[in-house]
Amino acid sequence: MSSTKQNEHPVPSSGNSIWRKKHVRRWIIYAVVLLVVFLAGLVPMWLAARTHVRERDAARVSLRISTLQNTLANAAIDARRGDYEPARQAASEFFTNLRIETERGGDSAFNEAQRNALRSLFDTRDDTITLLARSDPASADRLVDLYTKYRQSISAQK
C-alpha cells in the first residue's frame, strides 16, 4: 500500500470522543437540566401526597370508630322508643362490625389495649340480641350500658 491510500482512511483517535462534540454535549446538558427540573417538581408533590394519605387514613380510622359508636347509640335510642326490631338489627350490625374491627390486627382502628377492653363487650352480645328479639324493655338499659362501656374502652386507652 502506498502512503497516499493510508491517508484516505482516518485513524480513530481519542480526539473524536462523544464529549468533544458540542451538539451531543448540549443534548446531555439539556437532559440533565430537564431531569433536575422534573425532580424539583416531583419531590414537593410527593411529600404533599404522602401527608394527605396520612390525613386520609386518620380520618378513615376516626370514621370507623364513630360509625360503630353511632350504630350502638341508634340501637339504644330505638330500644328506648320501643322500636325493638330496628334496635336489634342495629345492635347486631354493631357487634358484627366491632368483631371485624377488632380482628383486623395492625390495620384496626383500635390499639391492642382497646381491642382487649372491647372484647369483653362480646360477652353480652347474645343476651342483648335475645332481649331485643323478645321486645324486653330491659334491653334499652343493656344497650345504654354497652354504649357507656364502648366509650370508656375507646377513650381511656388512647
Domain range summary for the chain, segments of one domain joined by +: 60-156
Mean of the pLDDT values across residues 128-143?
Answer: 94
In this predicted structure, what is the pLDDT of residue 116?
Answer: 86
In this predicted structure, what is the pLDDT of residue 117?
Answer: 87
The residues, any chain, with a CB within 8 Å of residue 150's CB and separated by 6 or more, are: 68, 69, 72, 118, 121
Q: Which amino acid is at 59?
A: A
Mean of the pLDDT values across residues 68-79?
Answer: 96
What is the rounded distance in angstroms from the CA atom of residue 19 to the CA atom of residue 28?
10
Q: Is 87:141 a contact under the CB 8 Å cutoff?
A: no
What is the rounded distance in angstroms from the CA atom of residue 122 to the CA atom of residue 128?
10
What is the rounded distance in angstroms from the CA atom of residue 154 to the CA atom of residue 133?
28
What is the architecture, at CATH level 2, of domain 60-156? Up-down Bundle (1.20)
pTM score over 0.75: no
Residue 77, pLDDT > 80, answer yes
In this predicted structure, what is the pLDDT of residue 108?
Answer: 81
Q: Which amino acid is at 97?
A: N
In this predicted structure, what is the pLDDT of residue 86?
Answer: 96
